[in-house]
Chains A and B, each alone.
Chain A
Amino acid sequence: MDHKISRRGFLKGSLAAVGAAGAAALPLPSVARGEAQGELATLIDIRKCIGCEACVEACKEVNEHKFPRPKKPFPTMYPSRVKVSDWSDKQDVTDRLTPYNWLFIQEATVKVKGEEETLTFPRRCMHCQNPPCADLCPWGAARKLKNGITRIDSDICLGGSKCRAVCPWHIPQRQTGVGLYLDLLPSLAGNGVRYKCDRGYDRIEKGALPACIDVCPEKVQKIGPRAQIVREAHEIAKQINGYIYGEKENGGTNTIYVSPVPFEELNRAVEKGPGKPGLDPVKNSMAHADNLAKAMVIAPVAGVAAAVGKFYKTMKGISGEEAGK
């Protein structure tokens, strides 16, 4: 973690933030921004990847200072069904996602133009346009940034399993014995911190490329405004008679893969499991929220109409009684 905050510091910070928000009086217009104003997406051209893992190594190197440094022994967890998740002795694992490995190379042996071929491609967080991990995080630890990055704030995350459960690819990985929960109720609530790709948000802030893109010798990945990246992905797909993944998955993501073989085939061929996401077609997880939000606009109007109707009926009854006298 970059730095630690104590329980007192956290509460002070939260109260200060509440006060600032109150003093700012409706800060919404200055903090809310639409996707048209600057979401960045990455294009991953599967044909170019040679599986050298330069991106994996670079990711580990530049993000090393963000990796967990757990305190041991871990607090005893209650109830006993709560399992410790410790990757601190397995930091060298690179064949799956872990709290110390936010990007890995996935392999799929498939037939390309009749020839059997092993395709390799980087896998990490897809950075959804409407990320359920950020939407449904009850604590505000997972957030989507204006530039399309979804990141988990390791100073605030309590390590619950929700973000991983609601993510269609089950990306965030937990390390026990680190984070804010140690200062709150370590045995009863929380279980560490969840980690995942933050697409080099700190490097992007400084105008640099994410390390995985910067070091790739084959220029497999490219980053740019989403509309431009999607357009380019379609151009490549058209040229090679290929396929696209990530444009519409989960309502749209900011990671667009282009492949010479259908993603159904790749999905069948890749090894799937914990820390090893598949390539299934994914429906928009948050579609229900969009639809029900529209009903929320109508609901108070319906309530008001019912009250006015009742009032009208009452008044009509009173005038009827008076006329009958």
Chain B
Amino acid sequence: MRRTETRGKTKDGRALPWLWGILLGVMAFSGFGQLPIFKRYYISDIPGLAWSADFYLTHRIHYVGAIVLLALAGYVAFDYLLGNRRHVRLTGSGFVRLCLLAGIVITGVFRVLKNLPDVVFSPGFTLVVDISHLGFMMAYLFAALAFLIMGRGWVEQKSF
């Protein structure tokens, strides 16, 4: 099996996968923390994790994570367009992850809009946004896990 490129040799090429992994972990944990399960399933009973049952705190963490994610998305997208696209190309697994990530971000943006005081969505639209945000995240996690096992990265080096 051909192992695709996941890490570059530049400083940010080494740092980005780490930052992305940590960010994904924080977003997944704080996102699942929005479901009333951490208290029910003793997660918040684990020493040091009592805070995880505080919905407002996990919500705040999720928002801060989203800010970092959006900044990272802006950086990676323009870094690719301005220079990296000459050296690397998106793999099939990278494209799948990108689509799922776009789904998470777009539905997330609507969720943020919904939480503003002067914005009201229709009940049907609210339901679609809420469930699809969760659905995209679950799909992304499963896809990321599968691609990790298969050794498929986001990008691969172009051959000249």
Chain A residues in contact with chain B, CB under 8 A? 14, 17-18, 20-21, 27-28, 31-36, 79, 81-82, 129-130, 135-140, 143-146, 153, 156, 160-162, 165-166, 189, 251-252, 285-286, 288-290, 292-293, 295-296, 299-304, 306-308, 310-311, 314
Contact = CB atoms under 8 A, between A and B. Distances in A.
Interface string B12-55: 10000000000000000000001111011110000000000001
A21 B110 CA distance: 13
A81 B114 contact: no
A162 B55 contact: yes
Contacts of A189: 37
Interface of B: 12, 34-37, 39-42, 55-56, 59-60, 63-64, 66-68, 70-79, 82-83, 109-110, 112-132, 134
Contact of B63 (A36, A165, A292, A308): A292
A140 B63 contact: no
Contacts of B68: 299
A27 B64 CA distance: 27
Contact of B82 (A166, A293, A311): A311
Contacts of A307: 74-79, 82
A27 B71 CA distance: 26
Given A139-B131, A160-B36, A31 B115 contact: no
Nearest to A82: B40
Given A286-B115, A307-B82, 14 more contacts: A21-B124, A34-B118, A35-B120, A79-B40, A79-B41, A82-B40, A135-B114, A138-B34, A140-B129, A145-B123, A153-B123, A286-B117, A300-B71, A310-B79
B130 A138 contact: yes
Given A161-B36, A290-B116, A300 B70 contact: yes
Contact of B70 (A27, A165, A286, A296): A296
Nearest to A303: B74
9 nearest A-B residue pairs (beta carbon):
A303-B74, A307-B78, A300-B74, A160-B36, A140-B130, A303-B75, A140-B127, A130-B117, A299-B70
A46 B153 CA distance: 65
Contacts of B116: 130, 289-290, 293
Contacts of B41: 79
Nearest to B64: A292
Contacts of A82: 40
